[in-house]
Structure 1
Amino acid sequence: MKNATFNRVALLAALVVLCALPFTVTGYVLYVVNLLMVFVVLALGMHMVIGEAGQFALSHTAFYGIGIYTAGIVNAAWHPPFVVSILAGGLLSAVIGYVIGFLALRMRDIYLALATFAFGEAMQWVFLNWNDVTGGSNGMRLSPAVFFGLKLTNDLQAYPFVVILAALMLWLTAALSRSQFGSALRAVRESDVAATAMGINARAMKQSAFAISGAFAGIAGGMYTLFVSYINPESLGFQTTILVLTMVVVGGIGSVRGAVAGAITFGVLSELLREAPSVQEVIYGLILMGFMMFKPNGLFAERKRRVARAAAQQGLGGGAAKEDHV
């Protein structure tokens, strides 16, 4: 009960802050908040494939880049309402993610990580060298997003749409996590054999997780095009994958709120260290190694277990633990 009340108060406080920001801060702060919302959706996508399905994939940044370029190209060619271009990026990323999901049927653990890492590196090579489509190493200028005739030319105009999209994706993640589909994903995460014995199609679950994760990353890429006018393929490398992985691991693998908290924390940290990329890599690496060694379940996963133990002692069973899951 206390946990549910805390969740409602925290959500209300976040809504108040987000509503007040456009009237109280400068354009740069709005840019950072827009970027944080993109990171939240990215982290939620990685949460779906790693935290819920237990598939250690390192191809997330590739899907993010596909979403950015697809949305940018569709917008430049036809100037549809930005919802169309974002959905196009999300759909293409989902389809490619479903195909990449075949890897999860044949590989596990480090082998799957290496295979998906190779795919991510191959896609960055495409972004860097497909000059006719992506602009190659020179990058690509993005046309202003359009919303029924209104052009979004600055961070303030894009802000409400970015926040709404992030909130919708958060709601969708929580709904999926609480559903039977989420329970089936977690069963596959724990044991393919046991899940199959329970009547769950483990193959379909794994591929679905990759598709959903790809869709989230593609939509995050489309959101990015709402407030940024230029994309550099150098920013779509392995460093971004490590950043998002750090968000999920530190927040707590398997925790939706952990993914959100990690995205905000490390999104702010990455912006503070933007002028020192080499230092970023060292810091993220040390943090990631530290949590893998000493707190492999992350901050919020630890909290979830404490709530579950307290609920069990009070005779509440697993209900509170399930509530704390999201």
Structure 2
Amino acid sequence: MKIDLDRGLLLACAAILAVLPFVASGYVLFIVNLLMVYIVLALGLHIVLGETGQFALAHIAFYGIGIYTAGIINNAWHPNFLVSILVSAVVAGALGYVLGALAIRMRDIYLALSTFAFGEAMQWVFLNWVSVTNGSNGYRMSPAQFFGYELVSDIRAYPFVVLAAAAMLWLTVYLSRSQLGSAFRAVRESDVAAQAMGVNVNRVKRIAFMISAAYAGLAGGLFTTFSSFIHPDSLGFQATVLILIMIVVGGIGSVRGAIAGAVIFGLISELLRQVLSFQEIIYGVILIVFMMFLPKGLFSGRDARQPVAAGARRPSGTAPEAKEAGS
């Protein structure tokens, strides 16, 4: 029944998204494009935080790296936009792997602080590397292209952004059900237990960081298909809080929660655009309320995957799957 309901919701959403370009204004399509980018961002953070349990706060930094990488490529060579977003994902993923290698021995608040420091350092780079990013004046990007077809409007970019978000959703579900996903969750529940099961914990963490960063870089590349300008101020602490609250309120460890959080808070952030000075206060109040009254979020991703207690009988196949993925 649950699977049928999920399929029904997916079909309904697909039908709405298919009809939307014919009935909606350009502004509505811009919002939907932005929500698709938020969904990809949230899915990436879901992998490292929800699936692997690594409290990393550098996601927006990789998003910014993706935006600037794709923008620079578009301005310099005007290639097919698929090239620019794939390069953005590869560059961000490589840096994510390096960050993961440096941070694998840190946990909890220490990991959060170190990755947050990386994010702040990258915003400093965006602001001060004027010869590349144009600094505080913001960076203007040429329109993305698809075999000579310029994506100069929201409606032109819309089908590509929606299809890319759908592909990343499919990939996320596939990873979650794979042996690598089993290794992610084993590390999330207990490093020691995962190690005892034969999981290469450090390798799994590095892979999680890399995949999460690649998602963020790809989301940045997608952003350049419908937006021609980026300012470093939009890649700061407030954006980090926004993405984090999407995951926490939606439900840590839940793909559906990541999507719901991205859509809900993507819309809220747009509604609060006229009161920027109050956004962080409002987000903080929402987060406190959820922590008090709904700590597992709108969807709980861990109910169906309870950790195996020490000495309890393990479901058949769990240990070999995790071991093979992490070895």
TM (normalized to structure 2)?
A: 0.92
Task: Indicate conservation of the 8 Å contact 1:103/1:112, yes or no.
Answer: no
2:123 aligned residue: 124
The secondary structure found in structure 2 opposite 1:199 is coil
The secondary structure found in structure 1 opposite 2:226 is coil
2:86 aligned residue: 87
Cα deviation for residue 275 of structure 1 reads 1.3
Task: Indicate conservation of the 8 Å contact 1:104/1:206, yes or no.
Answer: no
The secondary structure found in structure 1 opposite 2:72 is helix
State the alpha-carbon separation in 2 of the partners of residues 78 and 134 from structure 1. 17
2:194 aligned residue: 195
State the alpha-carbon separation in 1 of the partners of residues 106 and 278 from structure 2. 33
Deviations, residues 46-92 of structure 1 (Å, cap 9, x unaligned): 00000001000000000000000000001111111000000111101
Please list every run of 5 or more consecutive structure 2 residues that lacks an aligned counterpart in the other structure: 307-314, 316-327
Deviations, residues 243-292 of structure 1 (Å, cap 9, x unaligned): 00000000100000100000000000000111111211111111122223
State the alpha-carbon separation in 2 of the partners of residues 294 and 129 from structure 1. 42
Change (3 A) 1:308 1:85: closer
TM (normalized to structure 1)?
A: 0.92
Please list every run of 5 or more consecutive structure 1 residues that lacks an aligned counterpart in the other structure: 310-317, 319-326
Deviations, residues 201-225 of structure 1 (Å, cap 9, x unaligned): 0000000000000000000000000
Change (3 A) 1:207 1:308: closer
1:177 aligned residue: 176
Range with bigger deviation, 60-69 or 283-292? 283-292
Task: Indicate conservation of the 8 Å contact 1:55/1:104, yes or no.
Answer: no
Could you tell me which amino acid in structure 1 is paired with residue 199 of structure 2? I
1:323 aligned residue: none
State the alpha-carbon separation in 1 of the partners of residues 37 and 11 from structure 2. 21
Task: Indicate conservation of the 8 Å contact 1:95/1:211, yes or no.
Answer: yes
Q: Please tell me the root mean square deviation across aligned C-alpha atoms, in Å.
A: 1.5
State the alpha-carbon separation in 2 of the partners of residues 196 and 290 from structure 1. 36
1:155 aligned residue: 154
Cα deviation for residue 308 of structure 1 reads 8.4
Range with bigger deviation, 288-297 or 100-109? 288-297
% same residue: 64
State the alpha-carbon separation in 2 of the partners of residues 245 and 290 from structure 1. 15
After TM superposition, list the pairs within 5 Å mapping 1:283-322 onto structure 2: 283-301=282-300, 305=303
1:269 and 2:268 equivalent?
yes
State the alpha-carbon separation in 2 of the partners of residues 249 and 93 from structure 1. 23
1:106 aligned residue: 105
2:320 aligned residue: none
Could you tell me which amino acid in structure 2 is paired with residue 260 of structure 1? I
Task: Indicate conservation of the 8 Å contact 2:103/2:114, yes or no.
Answer: no
State the alpha-carbon separation in 2 of the partners of residues 115 and 5 from structure 1. 42
1:315 aligned residue: none
State the alpha-carbon separation in 2 of the partners of residues 293 and 119 from structure 1. 30
Task: Indicate conservation of the 8 Å contact 1:38/1:220, yes or no.
Answer: yes
1:217 and 2:216 equivalent?
yes
State the alpha-carbon separation in 1 of the partners of residues 292 and 137 from structure 2. 40
Cα deviation for residue 293 of structure 1 reads 3.4
Could you tell me which amino acid in structure 1 is paired with residue 98 of structure 2? V
Cα deviation for residue 294 of structure 1 reads 3.3
1:15 aligned residue: 14
2:322 aligned residue: none
Cα deviation for residue 12 of structure 1 reads 0.6
Cα deviation for residue 295 of structure 1 reads 2.6
1:248 aligned residue: 247
